[in-house]
A and B are shown apart, each in its own frame.
Chain A
Amino acid sequence: MSRTEASRRRFLGGCLAGLTGNACGQGRAPAGQAKQDPAAGRSRVVIARDPALRAGGGPDSARLGKLLDRLMQAFYGVDNALEAWRRLVRPGEVIGLKVNCLAGKGASTHPELVEAIMERLQQAGVRSRDILVWDRLSEDLESAGYRIATGRDRARVMGNDLLGYEDELSAYGSAASLLAKALTQICDGVINLPVLKDHGIVGVTLALKNLFGAVHNPNKYHPNTGDPYVADVYMLPPIRQKVRLAICDAVSGQYEGGPSYMPQWSWPFNGLLAARDPVALDWTGWQILEQERARRGLKPLRDAGREPKWIATAARHGLGTNDPGRIERLEA
């Protein structure tokens, strides 16, 4: 039996064991944040790919798990995946996995990826019941292949519609929103799990924009191709402080027609991207999408009237860098 299979069995056993307890983790010191940046002054973006990742319609779970390990080892510069995860989370913490499920199956964060991450989190000491898979709406999660789970004795899978929002506004610049309690009250740390795809209004939707799912009014933030809204929302302190890492699901990419799933504009990228710097990740993802657009004969997003200028705005806010000279791009 492989280690992965054994781990999965242990993970599922943990889910079903009827563990009880309070999932809230307020007051704990967060992991991941205090650690030195691996690229020392530069923002590391790791891209891991496996040409044989897909099996049939979706990713092969075993290969995806191995790809995830390769990604994390490269990002943290360690030769052991577990060590990488231990640098990201600590036992006793409540960890949120912010998926992106608006598009349903085909252009949402794959459940296979989430399953692999949950498994690694538990190996790193996070209890099953301290994991929250979360997005804006429960129905979006279901449409992307997740099963809603609300019990406190195992990993929860829920939308903000069930978890609720704060009563007081949080504001920064153009953004004024009620934040999701998943972010403010439940999770000690969040792993951001966007999808590599085009967006018909704001250009692309990657790490920064995925946090629109943490506010009650994302519909207010699409004018002017999302600039400065996307950057301003990410500046809200709980978002900035709690999101520790972005792992972008690039099993498939979609270079046109997003955020809805449009199979005719989807292509097998067979990869994952990781970055702590959301700006660097978004800039890198944007370039990947532009390259694919060019390869397919589509005009650049700037000429299509939807250049994601908010990436530069986010850089000016100090959320990260969009300067290619300061992005350390590693192919794992």
Chain B
Amino acid sequence: MSRFQDRRTFLKGAAALPCLARAAGGARRAEDEARYVAEARYYEKLPHRKIKCTLCPRECVIDDRERGYCGVRENRGGIYYTLVHSRVCAANIDPIEKKPFFHVLPGSTSFSIATAGCNVNCKMCQNWDISQVRPEQVRSLYLPPKEVAALARQNQCATISYTYSEPVIFYEYMLDTAEAGRAAGVKNVVVTGGYITAEPLKELCRRVDAVKVDLKAFSEKFYREVVNGELKPVLAALVALRKLGMWTEMVYLVIPTLNDGDQEFRDLARWVKTDLGVDVPLHFTRFHPQYLLKNLPVTPLKTLERAKAIADAEGLHYVYLGNVPGHPAENTYCPRCRRVLIQREGFFVRSLHVRGGRCEFCRQPVPGVWEKS
């Protein structure tokens, strides 16, 4: 399996780097495995060579020689290791709008990377072929943090995105790369399910500039049955992000029959307003049948528009629709003068009227990350 989309573009920029050229050109060797292994930052040692992972709310207790739920962390003799440091299974240069971040450097590109693995198992996962496999089951490149930062700069990317699978599970690599990115003048953004415990999240927020959380639904039932996780820790992470002053956007993938009820939209919008604030962008995106939910249809546009209408009515300032190219709800509107601030078409920005973090027309502050490093 290979996930190096836009490969020509990517490799063109990367060709000067010997490490990448070597990894891309040849088969992975057994001795290469060791370079992906680093001790995990968050775990507790238990008796009899067991450990408890404390990185995510799952808190897996893991025997010697076993791995956690994520499949990328292994107990070796009572020491817990990540097996995916610098082990990139997907790398692309994407528009930042694809993440989607609509209030982070609009029109810029983001150097986007992922490793194998995930700490949940969503039935609608669009990247299951990398998120639901172990690192040795997918083709990977060795891409250490400084090389990522260099590639990002070389390709004029304003940010590095940790995305596609679940960056929480490649936490150590993400931290080290974010540090290297900052040193190189590149910002860092995280695309996550938000299934992370408080301490690691706090540490992460010291190194990155924006976080987009995929809130899969607003019910524990959905999280239990469709995500194989829990809602409560995700809500806690969202609240923590706001308290830590992190720029946060949210995506809600609307899946027919599973999380598309009016009351759920309303409960969600009210919670966002109360616990996060009206300025947190909320993206309702269209579902396409994937992975284990191939039996469901594409989300009707009317459902998405209903979700937006409910969230708008609750007073949220920035409610967007996603995966509906050309829809006016892809644009950013000033909450005061209602003029179009950012006109988008798909992943492309057609016009931009935010200057210095304010509406160009009425000077209303528009929250987000607008300045490059």
- Residues of chain A touching chain B, judged by Cβ–Cβ distance below 8 Å, are 102-104, 140, 161, 165, 169, 171, 176, 178, 200-201, 216-217, 219-220, 222-223, 257-260, 262
Contacts and interface: CB of A to CB of B under 8 A. Distances in A.
Contacts of B69: 219-220, 222-223
Contact of A103 (B65, B68, B132): B65
Interface in B56-72: 60-61, 63-71
Contacts of A176: 291-292
B172 to A, nearest CB: 18
Contact of B61 (A140, A201, A219, A260): A201
Contacts of A219: 67-71, 134
B11 interface: no
Contact of B71 (A200, A201, A217, A258): A217
A103 B48 CA distance: 14
A298 to B, nearest CB: 14
Interface in B105-163: 121, 132-134, 136-137
A223 B63 contact: no
Question: What are the 7 tightest A-B residue pairs by CB atom distance, in nearest-first order?
Answer: A219-B71, A260-B64, A260-B63, A219-B67, A220-B121, A176-B292, A219-B69
Contacts of B136: 161
A169 B294 CA distance: 12
A258 B63 CA distance: 8
A15 B255 CA distance: 56
Contacts of B9: none
Nearest to B71: A219
A112 B63 CA distance: 26
B131 to A, nearest CB: 10
A222 B61 CA distance: 10
A141 to B, nearest CB: 13
22 contacts: A102-B65, A102-B66, A103-B65, A104-B65, A140-B65, A169-B291, A200-B50, A200-B61, A200-B63, A216-B134, A217-B71, A217-B132, A219-B69, A220-B132, A220-B228, A222-B60, A222-B69, A223-B69, A259-B66, A260-B48, A260-B66, A262-B48
A223 B137 contact: no
B134 A217 contact: yes
A217 B135 CA distance: 11
A140 B66 CA distance: 11
A176 B124 CA distance: 12
B49 interface: yes
A200 B62 CA distance: 9
A324 B11 CA distance: 63
Nearest to B30: A139
A179 to B, nearest CB: 13
Contacts of A165: 137
A202 B158 CA distance: 47
Interface in B18-68: 48-50, 60-61, 63-68
B133 A216 contact: yes
Interface string B269-293: 0000000000000000000000110
A257 B136 CA distance: 28
Contacts of A262: 48
Interface in B68-94: 68-71
Nearest to B117: A219
A169 B67 CA distance: 22
Given A165-B137, A176-B292, A200-B50, A260 B65 contact: yes
A103 B71 CA distance: 17
A246 B368 CA distance: 61
A244 B49 CA distance: 36
Contacts of B134: 216-217, 219
Nearest to B137: A216
A216 B132 CA distance: 9
Nearest to B77: A260
Residue of B49, B68, B134, B228 most packed against chain A (CB within 10 A) = B134
A217 B133 contact: yes
Residue with the highest number of chain B CB atoms closer than 10 Å, among A178, A219, A257: A219
Highest count of chain B CB atoms <10 Å: which of A165, A200, A259, A260: A260
Contacts of A201: 61
Contacts of B133: 178, 216-217
Given A176-B292, A220-B228, A260-B63, 4 more contacts: A102-B66, A140-B65, A217-B133, A222-B60
A169 B123 CA distance: 12
